[in-house]
């Protein structure tokens, strides 16, 4: 009985929040199609000039190199010629690459449930983990 009252109270609060958002037009602003229209109007100017790899959750560009996460792999790519990206090397990590930050010769990788990994990228052909 106690939990049903808590659930009912939560539903009432959610409903009141929705009513307040609609009355202040905040919900209408969030659902307005203007953002999508602007994005789509600019999308016609985008051209694919090169492609490498598959789905990626994380990339980082530093100078002529791009560091990309493809699943468990941190790949180093040369983008000195953007129309022809070249895969230079890679290292396999214990978890999915979710975020990458590069400072100096080190890539700091958010590695799913495996925590953060530090990868030495001084030699882009042979990146290696630092334990």
Residue 74 pLDDT > 80, yes or no?
yes
Give the mean pLDDT of the chain: 77
Counting the structural domains of the chain, the total is: 2
| Structure confidence by residue, pLDDT tens digits, 92-116 | 999 999 999 999 999 999 988 889 9
| Structure confidence by residue, pLDDT tens digits, 26-52 | 444 444 444 444 455 566 676 766 666
pLDDT of residue 98: 94
Nearest to 76 by CA among 27, 6, 15, 125: 125
In which domain, by residue range, is 13 found? 2-43
Asked if 67 and 33 sit in the same domain, the reply is no
pLDDT of residue 50: 65
Whether 111 contacts 95, CB under 8 Å: yes
> What's 90's domain CATH number?
2.40.10.480
- Is residue 11 assigned to a domain? yes
Neighbours of 23 (CB within 10 A): 9
Side-by-side strand order, sheet with 65-70: 58-62, 65-70, 73-78, 86-92
The radius of gyration computed from the CA coordinates of the chain, to the nearest angstrom, equals 23
Q: Calculate mean pLDDT across residues 72-80.
A: 93
């Amino acid at each position: 009985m106690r939990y049903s009252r808590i659930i009912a109270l939560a539903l009432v609060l959610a409903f009141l929040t929705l009513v307040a958002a609609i009355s202040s037009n905040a919900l209408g602003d969030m659902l307005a199609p203007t953002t999508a229209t602007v994005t789509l109007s600019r999308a016609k100017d985008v051209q694919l000039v090169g492609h490498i790899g598959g789905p990626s959750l994380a990339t980082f560009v530093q100078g002529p190199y791009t560091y990309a996460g493809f699943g468990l792999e941190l790949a180093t790519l040369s983008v000195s010629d953007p129309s022809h990206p070249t895969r230079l090397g890679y290292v396999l990590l214990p978890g999915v690459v979710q975020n990458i930050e590069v400072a100096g010769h080190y890539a700091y990788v958010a590695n799913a449930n495996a925590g953060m990994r530090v990868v030495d990228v001084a030699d882009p052909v042979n990146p290696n983990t630092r334990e």
